[in-house]
């Protein structure tokens, strides 16, 4: 009986083998009772971008920073106690075990843009750093870096290391980036070392995200994690299309929504910082709003930026723009919305000549003019402006909220300008901040701001909305 069963199993196994249930192109060999799979040659095609990406490894750097953070004043439970004051005599008192500052470390990424050591990164990566170190893949050397310049409004910064013959990355025209393009994110996530992740372009021209003041992001689902900030987003040809800047996440991890600053914006700002040590924005001189559904019939277009006012003496005034004009393009680049126009002009430098197309009375008109510097902007004080301790504020209108890309629910006053070395400057207040509360009273308009700011004497707490978060400072 057992013999019959064994014979049946042998026949069944033979039938299975002959029937091709196993891969005929795979040969199984025994070697000391171990099975090894011998893969066929010239029968499989391995898809890889290694030939494109291998040269980029030395174009993207790791950045580590150290920042000394003052802890400020606090209530020491032992301070003033005679016993402890006497016990710690000669040892800096009871504050011996309560340090006045601590060292804060962080990690990020950067991209080499010149052979002699200029590197792009995010402003928030190096902001306030006392020490910046740069390391390059495949090199054991660590470089000291210095800050050349920074632009907080776009979250870009340029640093430099003392090195030669570096592998500078090549730029791509980000205006040609399309949804569905295959992309790769390079950086140093979580400090584990350089990593490359793959995805595609999910959207272009993303604004009103609330991360920085000037937003024209490329959105991607390529995994971007903490530490990737300042790293490169490249296309399938290996060219830079953006600098990784931020992610949308509830827990700090990647959920497939990442944002990169487009390469054209990066190039313009970086060039100015390298040449001048700072980036000064151009200024057109108009207040603008989006075109609503009700207004489409008046202009015959769905996209553009409606001029709501023109400041005298500006480029817009010289061009002859008037309230009600619909700006549709700048240098043949389409203006899709008010934020789109703001970003286009905001990435240009003063004295740039621009050709602006606009619609007036349903007719397309065109004019050419040279832009002026935003530093030359005169503050409008006709009823809604106010100056306080070196900062100039204005009413936070619904129109301004749309331009800034923030929620209509936010209330406060908008900081238009902050004078260098003023009290407001020393307190860390920046142009673009929104003051939402002074002491225990919320700020709804300029009158409520003045009421609290001028009430009594001494320092006051100012609560500020900045880049999607709330900070507090004393002024």
What tokens does 195 get?
Answer: 């990593």
CA atoms of 286 and 242, how far apart (whole Å):
29
Contact 169, 120 (CB under 8 A): no
Provide the 3-class DSSP secondary structure of residue 164: coil
Residue 135 bridge partners (DSSP): 62, 142
Please tell me which residue in 59, 64, 109, 124 is annotated as part of the active site: 124
290 is catalytic: no
CB atoms within 10 A of CB 276: 12
123 is catalytic: no
229 is catalytic: yes
Contact 330, 355 (CB under 8 A): yes
CA end-to-end span of the chain, whole Å? 99
Q: Which helix H or strand E contains 470, and what residues bound it?
A: strand 469-474
- Cα 443 versus chain centre, distance: 28
CB atoms within 10 A of CB 456: 7
Please tell me which residue in 155, 221, 325, 433 is annotated as part of the active site: 155
Q: Count CA atoms closer than 13 A to 268's CA, side-chain side.
A: 19
Residue 430 phi/psi, 5° resolution? -120, 150
Burial string for 152-171 (b: 16+ CB within 10 Å, else e) reads: bbbbbbbbbbebeebebbee
Please tell me which residue in 229, 337, 338, 339 is annotated as part of the active site: 229
Active site residues: 124, 155, 229
């Amino acid at each position: 009986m057992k013999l019959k069963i064994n014979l049946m199993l042998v026949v069944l196994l033979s039938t299975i083998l002959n029937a091709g249930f196993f891969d005929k192109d795979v040969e199984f060999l025994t070697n000391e009772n171990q099975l090894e799979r011998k893969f066929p040659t010239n029968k499989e095609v391995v898809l890889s971008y290694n030939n494109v990406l291998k040269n980029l490894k030395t174009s993207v750097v790791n950045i580590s920073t150290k920042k000394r953070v003052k802890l400020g004043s606090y209530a020491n439970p032992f301070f003033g106690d005679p016993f402890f004051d006497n016990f710690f005599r000669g040892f800096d008192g009871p504050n011996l075990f309560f340090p006045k500052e601590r060292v804060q470390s962080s990690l990020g990424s950067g991209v080499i843009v010149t052979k002699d050591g200029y590197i792009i990164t995010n402003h928030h990566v190096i902001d306030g750093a006392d020490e910046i170190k740069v390391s390059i893949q495949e090199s054991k050397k660590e470089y000291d870096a210095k800050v050349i310049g920074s632009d907080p409004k776009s979250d870009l910064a340029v640093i430099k290391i003392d090195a030669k013959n570096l592998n500078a990355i090549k730029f791509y025209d980000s205006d040609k980036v399309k949804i569905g393009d295959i992309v790769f994110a390079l950086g140093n996530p979580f400090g584990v070392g350089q990593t490359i992740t793959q995805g595609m372009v999910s959207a272009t021209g993303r604004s009103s995200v609330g991360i920085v003041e000037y937003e024209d992001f490329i959105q991607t689902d390529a995994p971007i994690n903490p530490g990737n900030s300042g790293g490169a987003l490249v296309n399938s040809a290996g060219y830079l299309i953006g600098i990784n800047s931020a992610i949308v996440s509830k827990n700090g991890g990647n959920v497939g929504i990442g944002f990169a600053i487009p390469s054209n914006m990066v190039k313009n700002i970086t060039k100015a910082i390298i040449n001048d040590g700072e980036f000064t924005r151009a200024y057109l001189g108009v207040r603008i709003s989006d075109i609503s559904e009700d207004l489409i019939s008046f202009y015959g277009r769905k996209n553009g930026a409606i001029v709501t006012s023109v400041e005298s003496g500006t480029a817009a005034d010289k061009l002859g723009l008037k309230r009600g004009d619909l700006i549709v393009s700048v240098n043949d680049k389409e203006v899709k919305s008010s934020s789109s126009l703001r970003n286009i002009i905001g990435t240009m430098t003063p004295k740039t000549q621009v050709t602006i197309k606009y619609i007036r009375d349903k007719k397309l008109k065109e004019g050419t003019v040279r832009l002026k510097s935003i530093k030359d902007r005169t503050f409008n004080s006709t009823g809604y402006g106010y100056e306080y301790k070196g900062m100039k504020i204005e009413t936070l209108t619904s129109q301004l909220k749309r331009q800034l890309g923030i929620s209509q629910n936010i209330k406060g006053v908008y900081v238009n300008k902050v004078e260098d070395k003023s009290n407001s400057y020393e307190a860390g207040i920046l142009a673009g901040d929104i003051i939402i509360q002074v002491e225990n009273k919320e700020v709804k308009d300029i009158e409520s701001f003045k009421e609290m700011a001028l009430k009594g004497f001494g320092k006051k707490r100012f609560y500020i909305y900045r880049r999607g978060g709330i900070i507090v400072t004393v002024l």
